[in-house]
C-alpha cells in the first residue's frame, strides 16, 4: 500500500484530503441525536458507507462492471432505505466508477470523441426519461412501485449474471462485415496506436442506428434503476458497432459520466439525493477504483469474477423475493 501511494501521488493527496475533511467536520460541527439516528450512528454510517463503497469499487473494476451494478441491487435487496435515495446515489456511484476505471485508457487518448458525442445523445435522453418515470412511479404507486422495481431489477441481475457466465463476448479488434448506408454517411472512422502490436489500428463504427436505439434503452434502464450502464455500454460499442475493445472501454467512461450526470438531475429536483449520504460512497469509488485498477494485473481476475456472479445471483434472489412479497403479497421464506 505505501508503495502504491508513492507511485500514485494523487491517491495519497485524495486520502489525506478526505481524512482531513471528516476530522474537521467532527471537530467543528455539533451532531445531535435524532429519533432515527444517534450522532455516533451517523458517523458509523459515514465510515461504513465509505468502506463498503471502497470494496465495491475494487470488485467492480476487477469484475469489469460499473459500481452501480453492485450498489443499487445490494441496497434495495438487503436494506429498507428509500428506493429513490438508493437509485440516485447509485447513479453517483456509477458515474465515478466509470470515470475512474476508464482513466488509464483516457490518459492515453483512446476515447473517441466523435463516437462519444453521437452516443451521448440517446443515452442522455434515455437516462432522463428513465429517471422521470422512476419518480412518477414512486409518486403514483408508492410501496407497490418500489416492490415492482425490486422484482424487475432482480430479473435484470439474472440476465447480467448469465452474460458473465456465458462469457463471450468481447472482441479486441472486431472486423466489420459490411457498412450500412447511414454508417457510411456518418463516417465515424478513427485510429489509435496499439502498443502491444506496435502499429496503428484503424476502425469504423457501423450499425450506428441500432447502436443509438440500444443506447436509448441502456440510458433508460440506468436512469430508472440507478444502475448506470457500465454492464452494457462496452458490449454495445464493441459487439454491435464494431469499435475496438480499448476504445470502447475508454469511451464508455465518458458516456457513463454524461448519462448518469443527466439522470441525477430529476432526482435532485425531487429532493431524493442527499449529499451527506452520497459523498462517502463517491469518495470510496474514487479511492477503491484507483487501487483496483492497479492491482488488476496482479490477481486472479477470474476468481473475483466468479465471486461477482455469485453475489449477483444471491442479490437477484433476494430482490425477486422482496418484489413478490411487496407487489403480490405472497410470503417468500428467504432470509
Distance (Å, whole) CA 290 – CA 31 = 32
- Cβ-contact 216, 122 below 8 angstroms: yes
Distance (Å, whole) CA 257 – CA 206 = 24
Per-residue pLDDT of the chain (335 residues; tens, 9 = 90+): 555 556 556 666 766 776 777 677 666 666 665 666 676 777 788 888 889 988 888 887 777 677 888 899 999 998 888 999 999 999 988 888 777 766 666 677 788 889 999 999 999 999 999 999 999 999 999 889 999 999 999 999 998 888 877 765 556 777 777 788 888 888 888 888 887 778 888 999 999 999 999 999 999 999 999 988 877 888 899 888 989 888 888 888 888 888 998 999 999 999 999 887 888 888 888 888 777 767 765 666 567 778 888 888 989 999 999 999 988 888 877 65
- Cβ-contact 66, 308 below 8 angstroms: no
Q: Which grid coordinates are listed for 10? A: 494523487
Q: How many CA atoms lie within 13 A of 93 on its CB side?
A: 38
Distance (Å, whole) CA 160 – CA 183 = 29
- Cβ-contact 99, 257 below 8 angstroms: yes
Write down the pLDDT at residue 160.
Answer: 85
Domain positions in the chain are 41-327
Q: Which long-range contacts (CB under 8 A, 24 or more apart) does 176-183 make?
A: 176/204, 176/206, 176/242, 178/206, 179/204, 179/206, 180/206, 180/207, 180/208, 180/209, 182/208, 182/209, 183/207, 183/208, 183/209
Write down the pLDDT at residue 106.
Answer: 67
The residues that bridge with 202 in the sheet, in sequence order, are 191
In sequence order, the 6+-apart residues with CB closer than 8 A to the CB of 218 are 123, 126, 229, 232, 233, 236
3-class secondary-structure state, position 53: helix
- Cβ-contact 217, 147 below 8 angstroms: no
* Backbone dihedral angles phi then psi of residue 201, each to the nearest 5 degrees: -105, 120
Its pTM stands at 0.84
Distance (Å, whole) CA 141 – CA 83 = 12
For residue 12, CA distances in Å to 23, 46, 50, 182 come to 16, 20, 16, 48
Write down the pLDDT at residue 335.
Answer: 54
User: Could you say which DSSP state residue 167 is in?
Assistant: -
Task: Name the nearest CA neighbour of 288 among 107, 87, 82, 50.
Answer: 50
Amino acid at each position: 500500500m505505501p508503495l502504491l501511494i508513492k507511485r500514485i501521488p494523487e491517491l495519497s493527496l485524495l486520502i489525506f484530503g478526505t481524512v482531513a475533511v471528516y476530522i474537521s467536520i467532527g471537530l467543528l460541527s455539533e451532531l445531535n441525536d435524532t429519533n432515527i439516528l444517534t450522532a455516533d450512528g451517523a458517523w458509523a454510517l459515514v465510515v461504513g458507507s465509505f468502506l463498503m463503497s471502497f470494496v465495491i469499487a475494487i470488485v467492480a473494476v476487477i469484475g469489469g462492471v460499473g459500481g452501480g451494478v453492485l450498489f443499487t441491487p445490494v441496497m434495495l435487496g438487503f436494506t429498507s432505505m428509500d428506493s429513490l435515495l438508493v437509485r440516485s446515489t447509485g447513479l453517483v456511484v456509477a458515474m465515478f466508477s466509470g470515470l475512474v476505471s476508464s482513466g488509464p485508457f483516457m490518459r492515453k487518448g483512446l476515447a473517441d470523441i466523435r463516437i462519444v458525442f453521437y452516443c451521448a445523445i440517446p443515452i442522455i435522453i434515455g437516462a432522463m426519461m428513465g429517471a422521470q418515470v422512476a419518480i412518477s412511479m414512486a409518486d403514483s404507486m408508492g410501496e407497490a412501485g418500489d416492490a415492482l422495481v425490486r422484482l424487475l431489477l432482480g430479473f435484470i441481475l439474472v440476465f447480467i449474471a448469465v452474460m458473465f457466465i456465458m462469457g463471450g463476448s468481447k472482441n479486441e479488434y472486431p472486423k466489420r462485415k459490411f457498412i450500412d448506408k447511414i454508417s457510411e454517411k456518418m463516417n465515424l472512422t478513427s485510429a489509435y496506436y496499439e502498443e502491444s502490436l506496435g502499429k496503428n489500428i484503424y476502425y469504423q463504427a457501423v450499425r450506428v442506428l441500432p447502436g443509438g436505439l440500444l443506447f436509448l434503452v441502456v440510458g433508460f434502464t440506468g436512469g430508472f434503476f440507478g444502475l448506470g450502464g457500465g454492464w452494457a455500454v462496452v458490449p454495445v460499442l464493441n459487439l454491435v458497432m464494431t469499435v475496438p475493445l480499448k476504445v470502447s472501454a475508454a469511451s464508455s467512461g465518458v458516456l457513463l459520466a454524461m448519462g448518469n450526470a443527466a439522470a441525477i438531475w430529476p432526482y435532485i429536483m425531487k429532493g431524493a439525493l442527499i449529499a451527506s449520504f452520497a459523498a462517502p460512497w463517491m469518495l470510496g469509488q474514487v479511492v477503491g477504483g484507483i487501487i483496483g485498477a492497479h492491482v488488476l494485473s496482479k490477481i486472479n481476475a477470474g476468481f473475483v469474477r466468479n465471486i461477482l456472479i455469485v453475489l449477483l445471483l444471491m442479490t437477484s434472489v433476494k430482490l425477486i423475493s422482496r418484489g413478490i412479497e411487496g407487489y403480490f403479497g405472497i410470503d417468500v421464506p428467504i432470509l
